[in-house]
Structure 1
Amino acid sequence: MSTLDGFQAQLRALPKVSLHDHLDGSLRPQTLIDLAAEVGHELPTADPEALQEIFRTNANSGDLVKYLEAFAHTTAVMQSAENLRRVAREYVEDLAADGVVYSEVRWAPEQHLAGGLTLDETVEAVQAGLNDGVEAVEANDGVIAVGQLISAMRQADHAEEIVELALRHRDAGVVGFDIAGPEAGFPPSRFAASFTRLAEQMLPATVHAGEADGLESVRGALVDGRAQRLGHGIRVAEDITLTSGPESRSKIGDGGEDLIEVELGPVATWVRDRQIHLETSPTSNLQTGAVSALTGKTEAELAHHPFDMLYQLGFNVGVNTDNRLVSGVTLTGELAALAEAFDYGLAELADFQINAIEASFLGYEEREVLAAHILEAWQ
């Protein structure tokens, strides 16, 4: 076993937290093949390893259209209660196998109605699968808890209906609300009334922002979306000005120069000072072009990701996978990649777990119990 493999094995055994993981982007390749055969949906291949490689290659192509091709396949097979339940159960089992002890799974029920299900029936089917998965993990002496984040698709304009759906199921597995889909042209201000309704009913929200669009998207998520967390959020770095040179000892940024002075604009200041959690997904942020949009580097690498800069400046950052099938990643692998890119040890990687659990939509007592469990294990 190589040193890297040994480090990943160590990380896999440690308790971790996942706050940004899409259900329809995280199917097992074999499950996708099985379900596609059942419903008569054509896939590029019926070989699970080859299918995974096609998705990974498309994700790494730099072409967002190719990246998104996978979702046409996954949602096509997730149109029945039985299939939703299976996908949700396996989702939990796969996370537990990777050492995740708490997850908030996001998905958009409005994308799963083609088979005749109602919105409520889709949520109930996913919750049944999540419950099945938790029971299976516990039967093997494991520990995991999972909450649903109900997403509304920005381009569909069904936010008011989806908010009411989330509220109806808040005591039956739903822990929060999200908006997903294209950022540009679909700002949170379009759904201001829906976010007000959530605030009135005190159901928390996270908002996809600062991934496919820039700083104004982040501002809109905070102001109009009343976001407690930012989905990705890395383009808040557009509001940070660095002056660098050889004089200082502190290294920060994309490979290189020593920091002399940092100036935070009003949005970045608000995000840092209020400790608004950033749900970063390092590999996905590279694949979707979010890092290139920040750096201007067409061939962006993980070392160009603003993650380390944000962490060193005191931003509240977490680590996520976004879409495990599509990107071909695990949470363990993402942590190991960050450790290699930025020379992190276990102490830093533990910080990201505590950041995430404290920013989760669990209740205070539950967060405290899980945080203590995580700290004890990582120390």
Structure 2
Amino acid sequence: MSDPLPDDLRRAPKVLLHDHLDGGLRPQTIIELADSVGYEGLPAKDADALGTWFRESADSGSLPRYLETFDQTLAVMQTRDGLFRVASECAQDLAADGVVYAESRYAPEQHLVRGLTLEGVVEAVNAGLRDGEAKAAAAGHPIRVTALLTAMRHAANATEIARLAIRYRDEGVSGFDIAGAEAGFPPTRHLDAFEYLQRENFHFTIHAGEAFGLPSIWEAIQWCGADRLGHGVRIVDDITVDGSPFSEWLEGQTDDPEALTALELDRVRLGRLAAYVRDKRIPLEMCPSSNLQTSAAVSIAHHPITLLRRLRFRVTLNTDNRLMSATSMTREATLLCDEAGWTLEDLRWVTINAMKSAFIPFDERLALIDDVIKPGYAALGQAAPVA
């Protein structure tokens, strides 16, 4: 297998399914938008210092503390101009990083403080994404970005947001999501929304198996019917190595950076839930750097994505929150190559996985795979078959 060069990783076509709009702002944009709306709560007024504050705050190892950083970004995303700019820059930044297709998710209910309506929020973001796509294409980096509308787990607005997603399904909204703290807020609280979406033949993903374990995953799949799992990293709780739970086995491997790449797969056994997820090809939206910050993984070298890729789960690679993790798709790919032994063949595989799992029509997915992704990797010398 080949050893990827940094330039290859930058040029490789990428597909991003799990990226929060309010987690990817440019620090300078936050400062300028805060000034325009009179928001004085920023912890720093210099772009570099502000970026550092976000990263260090998100490094706390606590998901609730991690989520608190969004108070700052949401504060400057309460006007049409602010949402338009953030969405446009999101598309441009992703395109410049080699992303050819992305789904950007956000919770419309979190952008109503200054008088916007839910419809106004969606229309501002949609317009911004179209503007960003046009500017990216003009710069020689074509990209397609669709939106996922998110409902918050702790709130009671999921059905309203689901209906909003259906209203704009032909205007750039491709799916629905629920997010927020998992513990104490199971997805089953929002069954009416999921049943409505299923009746409307609409796609949805659910944050599950990040801070909470197997019950969260089981409920998302079996009770709610999720098409994909946001994160899903805790599926390894249903995997054993030599008869021991994966987490216990991994504790004895922390000094071996190649433990997951060298593990003989005949020593691995899947529980019934893990086997079901693999058999059904349920996509896992995995976010390595974010998982380190929230203590859902111990290191990049030991992140379960490597074992799950080797076991041929439908894993995909994602950023989650580019600002909070100071990351990009290129950085995530670089970390896996440098610390977990990944190759361009691995990256090609997860990229096609992601495109297969996108919430756009089959023929459009296939066109991007055949006309953009496969030729892009072939140009880098990677033509290995994908199962």
User: Normalized against structure 1, the TM-score is what?
Assistant: 0.92
Number of the residue aligned with 1:267: 273
- List, as ranges, runs of 4+ consecutive aligned residues in structure 1 with deviation greater than 4 Å: 251-260
Number of the residue aligned with 2:100: 101
Give the C-alpha shift of residue 252 in structure 1. Answer: 7.9
CA distance in 2, matches of 1:258, 1:70: 41
Number of the residue aligned with 2:296: 290
1:11 maps onto 2:9 in alignment: yes
* Contact 2:300–2:339 under 8 Å retained in 1: yes
CA distance in 2, matches of 1:348, 1:98: 18
User: Normalized against structure 2, the TM-score is what?
Assistant: 0.90
CA distance in 2, matches of 1:196, 1:63: 32
Number of the residue aligned with 2:340: 342
Amino acid at match of 2:113: A
CA distance in 2, matches of 1:65, 1:356: 28
* Contact 1:243–1:260 under 8 Å retained in 2: no
Number of the residue aligned with 1:323: 321
Number of the residue aligned with 1:295: none
Number of the residue aligned with 2:385: none
CA distance in 2, matches of 1:13, 1:157: 43
Question: 1:1-379 residue pairs with structure 2 within 5 A?
Answer: 7-41=5-39, 42-243=41-242, 258-291=264-297, 300-372=298-370, 373-379=372-378
Give the C-alpha shift of residue 56 in structure 1. Answer: 1.1
Give the C-alpha shift of residue 141 in structure 1. Answer: 2.9
Give the C-alpha shift of residue 70 in structure 1. Answer: 1.9
SS at match of 1:105: strand
Give the C-alpha shift of residue 262 in structure 1. Answer: 2.0
Give the C-alpha shift of residue 12 in structure 1. Answer: 1.3
CA distance in 2, matches of 1:255, 1:262: 13
SS at match of 1:156: coil
SS at match of 1:289: coil
Give the C-alpha shift of residue 26 in structure 1. Answer: 0.3
Number of the residue aligned with 2:250: none
CA distance in 1, matches of 2:329, 2:36: 30
Give the C-alpha shift of residue 65 in structure 1. Answer: 4.2
SS at match of 2:267: strand
Give the C-alpha shift of residue 190 in structure 1. Answer: 1.1
Amino acid at match of 1:188: P
CA distance in 1, matches of 2:169, 2:376: 31
Structure 1 residues not aligned, in runs of 5+: 246-250, 292-299
SS at match of 1:230: strand
In structure 2, the CA distance between the partners of 1:65 and 1:154, relative to structure 1 (3 Å rule), is: closer
* Contact 1:209–1:217 under 8 Å retained in 2: yes
Give the C-alpha shift of residue 48 in structure 1. Answer: 0.6
Give the C-alpha shift of residue 10 in structure 1. Answer: 2.1
CA distance in 2, matches of 1:181, 1:306: 22
Give the C-alpha shift of residue 169 in structure 1. Answer: 0.5
Mean Cα displacement is larger for which, 169-178 or 135-144?
Answer: 135-144
CA distance in 2, matches of 1:40, 1:221: 40
* Contact 1:110–1:152 under 8 Å retained in 2: yes
In structure 2, the CA distance between the partners of 1:115 and 1:308, relative to structure 1 (3 Å rule), is: same
CA distance in 1, matches of 2:60, 2:303: 18
**What are the Cα deviations for residues 159-201 of structure 1, in whole angstroms up to 9, with x where unaligned?**
1111110010001110000000111111111111211110010
Amino acid at match of 1:91: C
* Contact 2:261–2:340 under 8 Å retained in 1: no
Amino acid at match of 2:319: T
Percent identical among aligned pairs is 49
Structure 2 residues not aligned, in runs of 5+: 245-256, 379-387
Number of residue-to-residue matches in the alignment: 362
Amino acid at match of 1:78: M
Amino acid at match of 1:53: T
**What are the Cα deviations for residues 133-153 of structure 1, in whole angstroms up to 9, with x where unaligned?**
011112223210011100000
* Contact 2:258–2:341 under 8 Å retained in 1: no
Amino acid at match of 1:238: D
Give the C-alpha shift of residue 69 in structure 1. Answer: 3.0
CA distance in 1, matches of 2:20, 2:172: 16
SS at match of 1:176: strand
Amino acid at match of 2:129: L
RMSD: 1.8
Amino acid at match of 1:347: E
In structure 2, the CA distance between the partners of 1:280 and 1:306, relative to structure 1 (3 Å rule), is: same
CA distance in 2, matches of 1:142, 1:257: 39
Number of the residue aligned with 2:251: none
In structure 2, the CA distance between the partners of 1:265 and 1:252, relative to structure 1 (3 Å rule), is: farther
